[in-house]
Amino acid sequence: MIQRHQRIVFWCLIACIVGMGVLLAVERQRGRERIQALGDATPLDAPTAMTEAVTLDLANDTDGSITASSRQIALPQEANSRARALIDHLIAEYALPGSSHPLPSGSAVAEVFLLPLPVIGHAVDTSAAANSSGGFKATVPVASEDPNALKPKEPGGELAVIDLRSTFVNQHPSGVEVESLTLLSILGTLHANLPQIEQVRFLVDGQARETLSGHADLLRTYPVRDTVSNPNGGQLNP
Amino acid sequence: MAPCVFVLATLTGLGQTAPRKSHQPTPFRNQHKAPQQPPAAVSSVPAPIQINRMVILLDPAHGGLDSGSRISDATVEKDVTLSLAFKLRSLLSARGFAVVMTRDADRPTEPNAEGSPLTLDDRAGIANHAHPAACLLLHATGSGNGVHLYHSELAAAPGEPPAEPWLTAQAAWVPQSQRLEAQLAAALTRAGIALVASSASVRPVDSLTCPALVFELAPHGEDPDSINDADYQQRIAQSIADALVFWRNQVQPPVRLLSAVRPEATTAEQVTRPETQP
Q: Is B260 in the A-facing interface, judged by CB distances under 8 Å? A: yes
pLDDT band with cut points at 50, 70 and 90 for residue B65 = confident
B195 neighbourhood in chain A, CB within 8 Å: 235-236
In this prediction, residue A98 carries a pLDDT of: 86
pLDDT band with cut points at 50, 70 and 90 for residue B224 = confident
Q: How far is CA B229 from CA B37, B83, B226, in A?
A: 50, 11, 5
In this prediction, residue B216 carries a pLDDT of: 95
Q: What is the pLDDT of residues B128-172, one digit of tens each?
A: 999 999 999 999 998 888 999 999 988 888 777 777 788 888 988
Distance from CA of B82 to the nearest CA of A (A): 16
Q: How far is CA B143 from CA A48, A178, A180, B226, in A?
A: 39, 7, 12, 12
Residue A229 near residue A184, CB atoms below 8 Å: no
Cα A64 to chain centroid, rounded = 25
Residue A192 near residue A68, CB atoms below 8 Å: yes
The verdict on a CB contact (< 8 Å) between A217 and B203 is: yes
Distance from CA of A206 to the nearest CA of B (A): 21
Q: Is B160 in the A-facing interface, judged by CB distances under 8 Å? A: no
In this prediction, residue B272 carries a pLDDT of: 34
Residue A117 near residue A224, CB atoms below 8 Å: no
**Eight-class DSSP state of B114:** T
Query: What type of residue is A121?
Result: G
In this prediction, residue B19 carries a pLDDT of: 38
- CA A164 to CA A182: how far, in whole Å? 12
B11 within some domain: no
Helices A176-193 and A79-94, packing angle to 10 deg: 140
Q: How far is CA B139 from CA A10, A20, B180, in A?
A: 97, 84, 17
- Kindly state the helix (H) or strand (E) to which residue A125 belongs, with its residue range: none
Query: How, if at all, do strands A197-204 and A222-223 pair?
Result: antiparallel
Of residues B137, B246, B145, the one with CA closest to residue B193: B145
Q: How far is CA A238 from CA B198, B238, B247, in A?
A: 12, 20, 14
The rounded mean pLDDT for chain B is: 77
The segment with the largest mean pLDDT, out of A80-84, B11-15, B24-28, B63-67, is A80-84
The verdict on a CB contact (< 8 Å) between A238 and B216 is: no
In this prediction, residue B134 carries a pLDDT of: 95
Name the residue facing B143 among A61, A131, A236 (closest C-beta): A61
Q: How many CB pairs under 8 A join A and B?
A: 105
- CA A28 to CA A20: how far, in whole Å? 12
Q: Is A151 in the B-facing interface, judged by CB distances under 8 Å? A: no
- Residue B204 lies in domain: 52-107+118-247
B70 within some domain: yes
B5 within some domain: no
A238 neighbourhood in chain B, CB within 8 Å: 182-183, 185-186
Residue A64 near residue A177, CB atoms below 8 Å: yes
pLDDT band with cut points at 50, 70 and 90 for residue B215 = very high
pLDDT band with cut points at 50, 70 and 90 for residue B16 = very low
B33 within some domain: no
Split chain A (238 residues) into runs of 10 and give each run's mean pLDDT.
Answer: 90 96 95 79 66 90 89 87 91 89 88 79 50 46 52 66 93 92 93 89 92 90 81 39
> Which of B153, B214, B220 is the best substitution to test chain A (most A C-beta atoms within 10 A)?
B153
Question: Quick one: A120 exposed, middle or buried, by C-beta within 10 A (0-12, 13-18, 19+)?
Answer: middle
Q: How many residues does chain A have?
A: 238
Helices B230-247 and B77-94, packing angle to 10 deg: 50
The segment with the largest mean pLDDT, out of A225-229, B100-104, B108-112, is B100-104
In this prediction, residue A156 carries a pLDDT of: 66
Strands (E) in chain A, as ranges, are 51-60, 65-74, 109-116, 122-124, 139-141, 158-164, 197-204, 222-223
B181 within some domain: yes
pLDDT band with cut points at 50, 70 and 90 for residue B100 = very high
Residue A137 near residue A158, CB atoms below 8 Å: no
The verdict on a CB contact (< 8 Å) between B62 and A214 is: yes
In this prediction, residue B27 carries a pLDDT of: 53
The verdict on a CB contact (< 8 Å) between B144 and A64 is: yes
Name the residue facing B196 among A64, A132, A222 (closest C-beta): A64
B66 neighbourhood in chain A, CB within 8 Å: 214
The verdict on a CB contact (< 8 Å) between B202 and A216 is: yes
- CA A189 to CA A228: how far, in whole Å? 9
Residue A150 near residue A121, CB atoms below 8 Å: yes
Q: How far is CA B200 from CA A71, A222, B45, B191, in A?
A: 27, 11, 34, 24
The verdict on a CB contact (< 8 Å) between A176 and B195 is: no
Query: How, if at all, do strands A65-74 and A51-60 pair?
Result: antiparallel
Name the residue facing A215 among B139, B167, B196 (closest C-beta): B139
Helices B230-247 and B174-190, packing angle to 10 deg: 130
In this prediction, residue A17 carries a pLDDT of: 97
Rounded to two decimals, the pTM is 0.71
Residue-range domain boundaries for chain A: 1-44, 51-117+156-223
Strands (E) in chain B, as ranges, are 52-60, 98-101, 132-140, 147-152, 195-200, 212-217
Cα A233 to chain centroid, rounded = 27
The verdict on a CB contact (< 8 Å) between A211 and B216 is: no
B253 within some domain: no
Name the residue facing B148 among A64, A210, A220 (closest C-beta): A64
| Minimum CA–CA partner of A184 in chain B | B200
- CA B132 to CA B209: how far, in whole Å? 9
Q: What is the pLDDT of residues B175-191, one digit of tens each?
A: 999 999 999 999 999 99
- CA B69 to CA A175: how far, in whole Å? 6
Name the residue facing B161 among A131, A174, A180 (closest C-beta): A131
Rg (CA), chain A: 30
In this prediction, residue B252 carries a pLDDT of: 87
Q: Is the pLDDT of residue B53 over 70?
A: yes
Q: Is A211 in the B-facing interface, judged by CB distances under 8 Å? A: yes
- Kindly state the helix (H) or strand (E) to which residue B179 belongs, with its residue range: helix B174-190
Hey, how many other C-beta atoms are within 10 angstroms of the C-beta on B208?
A: 25
Name the residue facing A135 among B66, B144, B155 (closest C-beta): B155
Of residues B216, B229, B192, B209, the one with CA closest to residue B75: B229
Q: Assign residue B166 the CATH number of its domain.
A: 3.40.630.40
Residue B178 near residue B251, CB atoms below 8 Å: no
* Calculated CA dihedral for residues B55, B60, B62, B64, nearest 10 degrees: -100
Q: Is the pLDDT of residue B106 over 90?
A: no
Helices (H), B41-106: 77-94
Angle, vertex CA B108, rays to CA A210 and CA B220, nearest 5: 75
| Minimum CA–CA partner of A220 in chain B | B201
